[in-house]
Amino acid sequence: MNDSPDSTTDKETVQVLFLPSGRRGRLPKGTTVLGAARYLGADVDSACGGRAICGRCQVLIQSGNFPKEGIVSSPEHVSPPTAAEEKYAKLRDLPAGRRLSCQARLLGDAVIDVPPESQLHRQLVRKEAERQPVDVDPLIRALPVRVEQPQLDAPSSDFTRLAEALAEEWGVHDLIPDPLALPRLQAALRADDWQVTAIIHQPHLDAAPRLIDVRAGVDEALHGLALDIGSTTIAAHLTDLHTGEVIVAKGAMNPQIRFGEDLMSRVSHAMMHEDGAAQMSAAVREAIGALAAEAAAEAGISPDSILDVAVVGNPVMHHLFLGIDPKELGQAPFALAVSEALEMPARDAGLAHGLAPAARLYTLPCIAGHVGADAAAVVLAEAPHEREEITLIVDVGTNAEIILGNRERLLACSSPTGPAFEGAEISHGQRAAPGAIERVRIDRKTLKARYKVIGCDLWSDAEGFEEALRENNIRITGICGSGIIEAVAEMFLAGIISADGRFNTALAETSEHVQARGRSFDYVLRHDEPRIAVSQEDVRAIQLAKAALYAGARLLMDRLGIDAPQRIRLAGAFGAHIDPLYAMVLGMIPDCDLEHVSSAGNAAGTGARMALVNMEKRREVEALVRRIEKIETATEVRFQEHFVAAMAFPHKTAPTPNLSRAIDLPSPAPQAGDARVNASGRPRRRNRRRS
């Protein structure tokens, strides 16, 4: 079967978007979904050559309106099942709604969800747990105790005698039973000669202790789950509640991506569909349950020992996880339904799988309508409130959350950066997965790029690069967020684009790497198939994202009355993979001594783990949130002014003494005939570079 888009003679085209990769494009009507995926670089597995035998290429055609992408998708926008597909469905399992992408042909615009089991290269979830030690004072305790046997002459219930034994041996008073623990009580007491281990939850809000489980004999295994629910990924850290150690870290793509790539798209889905919020809540809860079960299996423990869960997320993720419709967060005044910390049975939040039946749940407090519990967790982990120097903390994502301050004062805001930093809305962009370009260097003389891809340690110009790709079954498919940042920064440093982001059009006449495309231009990173280029539109998308990020930070600096922070921490999975130099070259962050710019790793996950294992940390984060000053960028009159100035590389007016000491920046706005312009039309500069 020839399923290449080029094999179709029908000139009518349809628009297709693949999730979670974000690859999109227009293709001839009649192209198979698998052919479209291969042409666009979307990751869909197939082992049978399109004969509907292996079943690895299953996809789900989404139904609904996706206004941001300009797509109305429907299962009817692909061809009906073929005879081969129907035969496969009879012989093997083909879940309802699934199609074999090798058989389904595109008849109209479509949004196509590729489930994890159909992905040849799974999306990387770069939210590894930080292994830093934390103080342990958990709210869940395992208390071995021997209970008196019942007596005819002194009748009392098993629970009463257990409560009396716990009061005498452990000082636990006013014990309340969880309804789910009581059915296990009598069998546990009689299984090991009245020796049991009582699992007690002591709320940090001075409420009465609660009996949540009873185990026969001495069984003190206690585990908890620290959850960081991001708009793109979910990270789960299975933690030993006795030691605070992370035993297993698991991650998965957030299945809500199928309802919209960014936060506002999901809010729109909730607004436009009566059951939209419920759909998204169910999807994320199911994914969390699966992650918990996978983590327990990998650790070799029973899910029944996972007794406490701490959750962080941005406000939209927070509300959807709790089953709250987020539509109010999509319009001023961006009112949260609840911002306070919550403590409840995990089952009340729909977590009925992968945990102990009576497991408890704690959600950290949100700071403001667009600054969530994840930002509160970052503050808890990074502790700027304990430092003298002023720290800027930036959690880079589709909605950047920004914290500034020290022990005297803390401020917070969010800034709408959009998904460009994650590879979305970039012509050859994709999320981080094997085969994505993640590092870029451009030769200042030849303008040729060399690059590194995820999954291969060699640079593209190294001997054995292609062989290494083949050995690791890696095919170059696109460019991810860290790669597009470095590519645009290198293009600026090499004189391919100016400080205002425009291409040096004269280079199209002298360099094969700069090519005209109609009235626009591309810089070609890779000429071989697949051709990968950075377009003028891509540069603009990065400018818009980085300007929003910088403008938010500038507002906080204005409010604090400083010109620059003394220390910058880049938080989040994306922040961990950004080279601070290139972040500063682009102007994503203010000028600062580069030695004081560093990654905070998954600080939100670390903060969640601290709250999971330490009662006092819950009190601390709740107090911190009350003292943080919230700045709303949407109503600040100077935001637009700062945004416009920040569109330039690295900035239109702000001085960059620290950056200038680290690297030679292009001279501003060189003109033809200027002595600073060399023969190729590029500014003269020394060839200082980073390897």
Structure tokens that stand for 573 in this block: 């999975």
C-alpha 376/C-alpha 311 separation (Å) is: 11
Locate the domains of the chain by residue range: 5-118, 140-216
Q: Give whole-number Cα distances, 513 to 447, 528, 666, 689, in Å.
A: 7, 12, 20, 19
Contacts of 478 (CB under 8 A, 6+ apart): 23, 41, 423, 428, 429, 430, 435, 436, 437, 530, 532
Rounded Cα distance between 511 and 488, Å, is 17
Positions in the chain whose pLDDT score sits under 70? 1-11, 47, 49, 68, 120-133, 205-206, 424, 573, 668-691
Tokens of 108: 């109209």
Going 499 to 501 to 502 to 507, the CA torsion angle's sign is positive
CA distance 631 to 368: 9
pLDDT at 11: 63
Task: Say if residue 20 is preceded by a cis peptide, omega within 30 of 0.
Answer: yes
Output the DSSP codes for 163-215.
Answer: HHHHHHHH---S-EE-TTTHHHHHHHHHHTTTEEEEEEE--TTSPPPEEEEEE
In this chain, the answer to whether the domains covering 5-118 and 140-216 adopt an identical fold is yes
Please name which of 487, 394, 376, 423 lies closest in space to residue 124, comparing C-alpha atoms. 423
What is the helix (H) or strand (E) element at residue 103, kind and residue range?
none
- What pLDDT is recorded for position 688? 41
The predicted model scores a pTM of 0.80
Beta-carbon count within 10 A of 431 CB: 27
- pLDDT at 119 (0 to 100): 76
What pLDDT, on a 0 to 100 scale, did the predictor assign at position 233?
85
Please tell me the distance from the alpha carbon of residue 452 to that of residue 349, in angstroms, as a whole number.
42
Q: From the DSSP assignment, how many helices (H) and strands (E) are in the chain? A: 17, 29
**Rounded distance, CA 156 to CA 162, Å?**
10
Which class is domain 140-216?
Answer: alpha beta
Alpha-carbon distance 599 to 603, whole Å? 9
* Cα end-to-end distance, the chain, whole Å: 45
CATH architecture, domain defined by 5-118: Roll (3.10)
Please compute, for residue 619, the number of CA atoms within 13 A of its CA located in the half-sphere on the CB side: 10
d(CA 538, CA 549): 17
Q: How far is CA 315 from CA 138, 411, 414, in A?
A: 26, 17, 11
